[in-house]
Amino acid sequence: MGTQVRQKVGAFFGGSLAIRVVTAGSTNACEQELIALGNAYYDVERFGVHFVASPRHADMIIVTGPVSRNMVAGLTATYNAAPNPKVVVALGDDAIDGGIYRGSYAVMDGVHTIVPVHYSIPGNPPSPTTILASLLDILKDIETNGIPTLA
């Protein structure tokens, strides 16, 4: 799986896939799984995948959480700052549709209500292996269909 990720990242993103993570009101469970991707066991950077601090350097935006009302402006600003073409991924059940928080006055019921979402990775939270396998599926889809052009 890792070799395939490395090859596809090199083909589509010039050698590295830069990911900006936006924590939009999550419980921090998804972030812990993303952090695990960087540990010695998973070492996702060896496949050319790395996390960046600025959306201006990002190829992909991963959003976690049901998007709290207080994070709408931050998520929108991050989305607008990322260069085109950008790929947006909703990570975890909360980000996909609000999860257990759906319908609460405090959340927006999923990332898609604020910015276009191209891919979703379900789970509560998804494991690092699931995230890595999903990234490979996303890269395969990009290989087949090209980088999504939703704006």
Q: What is the DSSP secondary structure assignment for residue 110, as one 8-state letter? A: S
Asked if residue 109 lies in contact with residue 98, where contact means CB atoms within 8 angstroms, the answer is yes
Classified as helix, coil or strand, 68 is strand
Q: Could you read off the pLDDT of 41-80 as tens digits, one per residue?
A: 999 898 889 999 999 999 999 999 999 999 999 999 999 9
> What is the structure's pLDDT at 144?
85
pTM for the whole structure: 0.92
Using the predicted structure, report yes or no on whether residue 98 has a pLDDT greater than 60.
yes
> What is the structure's pLDDT at 28?
94
2-134: CATH, from 3.40.50.12280, 3.40.50.740, 3.30.499.10, 3.90.25.10: 3.40.50.12280
> What is the structure's pLDDT at 146?
82
**Which of 51, 52, 64 is closest to 23 using CA atoms?**
64
